[in-house]
Amino acid sequence: MPRDELGILSEIKRSYIMRRLKEGKRSDDRNLDQFREATITPNYIVRAAGSSMVTLGKTKVIAGVKIEAGEPFPDTPNQGVLTTNVELLPMAFPTFESGPPNEMSIELARVVDRGIRESKMIDLQKLVIEPAAKVWIVFIDINVLDFDGNLIDACTLASVSALKTAIVPASSIGGKDFTVPTTCTPISVTMAKIGDSLVVDPDLEEEQISQGRITVTTSEDGHIKAMQKGDVGFFTMDEIKKAIITSSNVGKSLREKYFG
Amino acid sequence: MGTVSDIKLIDEKGLRIDGRSPEELRPIKIETDVLNRADGSALIEWGGNKIIAAVYGPREAYPKHNQDINKAVVKARYNMEAYSVDERKRPGPDRRSMEISKVISEALESAIMVEQFPRAQIDIFIEVMQADAGTRIAGLTAAAVAVASAGIPMRDLVTGCTAGKVDGHIVLDLCKEEDNFGQADLPIAVLPKSGKVVLMQMDGDMSVEEFDQATGMVMNAIKRINQIQRDALKNKFETSTGEVGE
């Protein structure tokens, strides 16, 4: 979590958040398991094969998908390739710097990637042009424009939504364009631990006082597809089991609300 | 995860490809103070994994803007040698190793009493010399011993273990084939006295019931692995008495 002169929460703010949590409410009046309102704008960038701009509260990210023909990995000759990259743009936060990806953006990209990959959202076997020689490579590039907490879920929402509209440019090699074959809708739900509470979709202030973060990605079948515990701190096994159930429930309602 | 294969990973008797039963760990051996210069170090051999962890510090954090006026900064670096895997790994940090370094640093910082060392830095170097699945957990388990061996105050050791899903069965401590061709991988590290989870990642596919079964297995195994860590640390003091005044 970046901390700078803006990042250090005042004691007054901290005790206010803690006091509200005791009443079962958040500083912005949300319930503990309530997501901020998200706006999803698919096809925001028409030059991309697929794209989506997502705002989650005051967090704003854009995911763009590009699809190019290329070589498969030697160990998966009959599968297309998926790569995910996140850039934390300097405009998004005072301490974000341009330059090579740092560990925060790498972890973020890998957790987003894992949810999409392990849920098998994209049917990579249908992205083979010529086995062992040529396949479609799906590049997801995510740019963070405005940072107010919970980038993992904002980036996952943006990627999933961008993939759902993405077109494979098969006409460029003499075929017919087709939409990216998708099988399910993975939803990640991130929770921060504050005191004894788990709060869903933490904003920046909540992330700054949190004592641990946990992300659980589920798909329609309710199974866990990816998980990540992050930040310094710990969770009890009971808290983790609670987080899994919360993620599954919240994920279900988000799926219906935004992709139903 | 999820690479399709024809290899049968569990036989009719329920035994695994390397002959283990579902809840059987691979052999684990830990030795402390294998290096001279470092403030603390440990070598772990876990199945085919051979990993050295070394600790420097607490020492002044540098560059200075990295200092934290309230606590020590814990910086772990997980690195795989080029020759540690079948196909040569390009040396230097990659995205996977940077992520692992981050989650290991966070797990160790949860155990170390960092508040006692403001403005300081504790460096932990983890070198994977031979990799055989479960390297992050083996590296972290060794690193915790190295930190303790360096005399750095800790709330508890950190002990890790992996569970996973193979041919539809939940098994403990995946080996390489199971890691490559299994259906889920769940590395967990805890503070063993309290059972608090300080590292957890998962990829693959698991139902909630399977997750419960896997974590139950891991929690049992943690006790055994923690004993190996403690024995290694005890052994350090029992064997070093003879060298006093040398």
Q: What are the chain B neighbours of A240 within 8 Å (beta carbons)?
A: 197, 200, 215
CB A244, CB A216: distance < 8 Å: yes
Q: Identify the structural domains of chain B with CATH numbers, from first to last.
A: 28-241 (3.30.230.70)
Q: What is the pTM of this model?
A: 0.82
Percent of chain B past pLDDT 70, that is, above it, reads 94
Min Cα–Cα distance to chain B from A256, Å:
21
Alpha carbons A112 and A119: distance in angstroms, whole number: 11
* Residue B167 Cα distances to A75, B132, B184, B230, angstroms: 20, 20, 10, 34
Q: Where are the beta strands (DSSP E) in B81-195?
A: 120-130, 159-166, 169-172, 184-191
Give the pLDDT confidence of B81-135 residue by residue, as tens digits: 888 988 878 888 899 999 999 999 999 999 999 999 999 999 999 989 899 999 9
> Which pair of tokens denotes residue B11?
């036989």
Nearest to B197 among A101, A224, A237 (CB): A237
CA atoms A68, A72, A77, A79: torsion sign: negative
Alpha carbons B40 and B108: distance in angstroms, whole number: 14
Min Cα–Cα distance to chain B from A234, Å:
5
Q: Which helix (H) or strand (E) holds B31?
A: strand B28-32
CB B73, CB B108: distance < 8 Å: no
Number of residues that this document lists for chain A: 260
Alpha carbons A235 and A192: distance in angstroms, whole number: 10
* Residue B97 Cα distances to A81, A106, B44, B79, B126, angstroms: 20, 10, 19, 6, 11
Alpha carbons B85 and B88: distance in angstroms, whole number: 6
Contact A229 B212 (CB under 8 A): no
Backbone φ, ψ for residue A51 (5° rounding): -160, 165
Chain centroid, CA A226 distance in Å: 12
* Residue A245 Cα distances to A213, A240, A241, A249, angstroms: 16, 9, 6, 6
Alpha carbons A49 and A47: distance in angstroms, whole number: 7
Is the minimum CB–CB distance between A165 and chain B shorter than 8 Å? no
Question: Which of the residues B177, B183, B201, B207 would you substitute to probe the A interface, choosing the one with the greatest number of A C-beta atoms within 10 Å?
Answer: B201
Alpha carbons A260 and A247: distance in angstroms, whole number: 17
Alpha carbons B225 and B223: distance in angstroms, whole number: 6
Is the pLDDT at B143 greater than 60? The verdict is: yes
Min Cα–Cα distance to chain B from A174, Å:
30
Strand order in the sheet with B73-80: B28-32, B40-46, B49-60, B120-130, B73-80
Contact A240 B197 (CB under 8 A): yes
What is the signed CA dihedral for B105, B108, B110, B114, rounded to 10 degrees? -90
CA atoms A41, A43, A46, A51: torsion sign: positive
Is the minimum CB–CB distance between B211 and chain A shorter than 8 Å? yes
More confident residue, B246 or B217: B217
Nearest to A223 among B186, B198, B207 (CB): B207
Is the minimum CB–CB distance between B98 and chain A shorter than 8 Å? yes
ipTM value of the model? 0.71
DSSP letter assigned to residue A183: -
Q: Which helix (H) or strand (E) holds B203?
A: strand B196-206
List the one residue out of A134, A197, A127, A122 whose CA is nearest residue A160.
A122
pLDDT at B155: 96
pLDDT per residue of chain A (260 residues) written in tens, 0 to 9: 555 445 567 788 888 999 999 999 999 999 999 999 999 999 998 889 999 999 999 999 999 999 999 999 999 999 999 999 999 988 888 888 878 889 999 999 999 999 999 999 999 999 999 999 999 999 999 999 999 999 999 999 999 999 999 999 999 999 999 999 999 999 999 999 999 999 999 999 999 999 999 999 999 999 999 999 999 999 999 999 999 999 999 999 999 999 98
Alpha carbons B97 and A107: distance in angstroms, whole number: 10
Count other C-beta atoms under 10 Å from residue B34's C-beta.
17
Q: Where are the beta strands (DSSP E) in chain A?
A: 38-42, 50-56, 59-70, 81-88, 128-130, 134-146, 167-168, 178-179, 187-194, 197-200, 213-218, 224-230
Mean local confidence (pLDDT), B163-191:
96
Q: Cβ contacts of residue A41 below 8 Å, gap of 6+? A: A52, A53, A54
Is the minimum CB–CB distance between B110 and chain A shorter than 8 Å? yes
pLDDT at A85: 94
Secondary structure class of A72 (helix, strand, coil): coil
Q: What is the CATH number of domain A11-259?
A: 3.30.230.70
List the one residue out of A90, A88, A185 whose CA is nearest residue A142.
A88
Alpha carbons A45 and A41: distance in angstroms, whole number: 10
Pairing of strands A134-146, A81-88: parallel
Question: Which of the residues A4, A111, A232, A244 would you substitute to probe the B interface, choosing the one with the greatest number of B C-beta atoms within 10 Å?
Answer: A232
